Amino acid sequence: MKHYLSFLVCLSVFSSCITDVEFSSEELEPQLVVNAVGVVGEPLSVSVTKSVAVFSNTEDITPSPVSDATIILTTNGHSEPLEYDAAEGVYRSATVVHYADSLGLQVAVGNQTASSRIRVINYGVEIEQIRFEPVEQDDYYHYEKVEDHDDSIPVAWSLDAEVGITLTDPGYFHNYYMASATVFLYHAPANDTICRWFRWEDRIHNEAFQDRYVMEDGPYNGKTISLSQDYSFYCETDEKGQSLHVDSMAVEYCLYSIDSRLYRYLQSAYSNRQLAGFMSLFAEPIQVYTNINGGMGVFGSAAKNVVRVRIF
């Protein structure tokens, strides 16, 4: 009887902790999402979309590009409208971004406006050394026996290797970096056209982008920094079942010196995405950094250094 009474007391205590909350989702007007990165030596590209509600009824929550925006770019006091590139879904400037440019962005879509101003990064760090070290393999090709044929044909090509770069960090100010590698496989019959290509993107965007580094110098300030990653390269026969043959391979190493705005945006966006899913119900939400007035997104700058080498 004593245990039974204790059980009733506990049940009463826990029951009193349950509160019914009536949830009301207010339909808010989607906000402008503006993402623009001024890369030194290239025209400015601007992506404009609209935010999607958390409890949206649509199955596809991927935002569509806004193609009817009016965008004015001001470069060192000179203004120009940006043209929309329908094939890429972005707006591009006619002028090229230079070091230390003063840039202003004005975006208007219907009755919504967004704006931002930045000064372009004034330096760029170069790649000093590159590495490509294949893992020893007896045979790069995987063969499959073809029906009614005496020989086997290769159905897939693969290679494991360590890819890396080395750079020297300038010690006189705080630096931020983003590094990546792109691998190109070629075949000879069509004048060295690309057979298959792979690109590793930023970890910030989704899980497939886990092989690009985004970092700050921190304890490495003024020191030599080495970045490396193990990769597996894989290529199959095409859809028509044509025999596969890889004649040459090239690696394009890319190092971006990025400003603090872009770094903060990428880091906070990555942390926010890590909380996605069921566990986000029990985690403190992370506010994604933005420097877009009247909207969301980022307006940042970067300087790019590219080294491309042929492996075989």
Alpha-carbon distance of 7 to 295, in angstroms, equals 54
Please name the residues in contact with 176: beta carbons below 8 A apart, sequence gap of 6 or more: 214, 215, 216, 217, 257, 258, 259, 260, 262, 263
Does one domain contain both 279 and 158? Answer: yes
Domain range for 103 is: 32-119
Looking at the fold, whether 252 and 220 belong to one and the same domain comes out as yes
Residues 79 and 213 grouped into a single domain: no
Give a yes or no: residue 81 inside a domain. Answer: yes
Residues 58, 140, single domain; the answer is no
3-state secondary structure of 296: strand
* Half-sphere exposure of residue 169: CA atoms within 13 angstroms, side-chain side: 22
pTM: 0.76
Residues 52 and 32 sit within 8 Å (Cβ to Cβ): no
Q: How many domains does the chain have?
A: 2
Q: What does the DSSP 8-state code read for residue 62?
A: P
Q: What is the pLDDT of residue 7?
A: 45
Q: Looking at the structure, do residues 99 and 154 belong to the same domain, yes or no? A: no
CA gap 101, 74 in Å, rounded: 10
124, two tokens? 């760029």
Q: Which residue has the tokens 């044509």?
A: 242
Q: How far apart are CA 223 and CA 194, in angstroms?
A: 38
CA atoms of 32 and 234, how far apart (whole Å): 39
Separation of first and last alpha carbons in the chain: 83
Residues 60 and 105 in one domain: yes
Q: Do 106 and 181 share a structural domain?
A: no
Q: Tell me which DSSP letter residue 208 carries.
A: G
Question: Which pairing describes strands 78-81 and 70-75: parallel, antiparallel, or unpaired?
Answer: antiparallel
Residue 18 lies in a domain: no
User: Within this chain, do residues 171 and 236 fall inside the same structural domain, yes or no?
Assistant: yes
Same-domain pairing of 173 and 51: no
Q: Rounded to the nearest 5°, which phi and psi values hold at 97?
A: -75, 140
Answer yes or no: is 244 within a domain.
yes
CATH number of the domain that residue 37 is part of: 2.60.40
Report if residue 138 sits inside a domain.
yes
199 in the same domain as 90: no
Look at residues 119, 154, 175 and tell me which one is the last residue of a structural domain: 119
Which tokens is 64 given? Answer: 């569509």
185 bridge partner residues: 196, 249
- 164 sits in which H/E element: strand 152-168
In tens digits, the chain (312 residues) has pLDDT values of: 555 555 444 545 444 455 555 555 566 688 999 999 999 999 999 999 998 765 555 555 567 899 999 999 999 999 999 999 999 999 999 999 999 999 999 999 999 999 999 999 999 999 999 999 888 776 666 666 655 555 666 667 777 888 889 999 998 889 999 988 877 777 655 444 433 333 333 222 223 333 456 889 988 899 999 988 887 776 666 555 555 666 777 888 999 999 999 999 988 887 766 555 544 555 566 688 999 999 999 999 999 999 999 888
* CA dist 36 → 17, 156, 157 (Å): 48, 39, 37
* Residue 14 belongs to some domain of the structure: no
Residue 8 lies in a domain: no
107 with 217, same domain? no
173 within a domain of the structure (yes/no): yes
Domain endpoint, select from 119, 152, 185: 119
Boundary residue ending a domain (69, 91, 119): 119
Could you tell me the two tokens for 268?
A: 């906070």
Assigned domain for 299 exists: no
On whether both 133 and 82 belong to a single domain, the answer is no
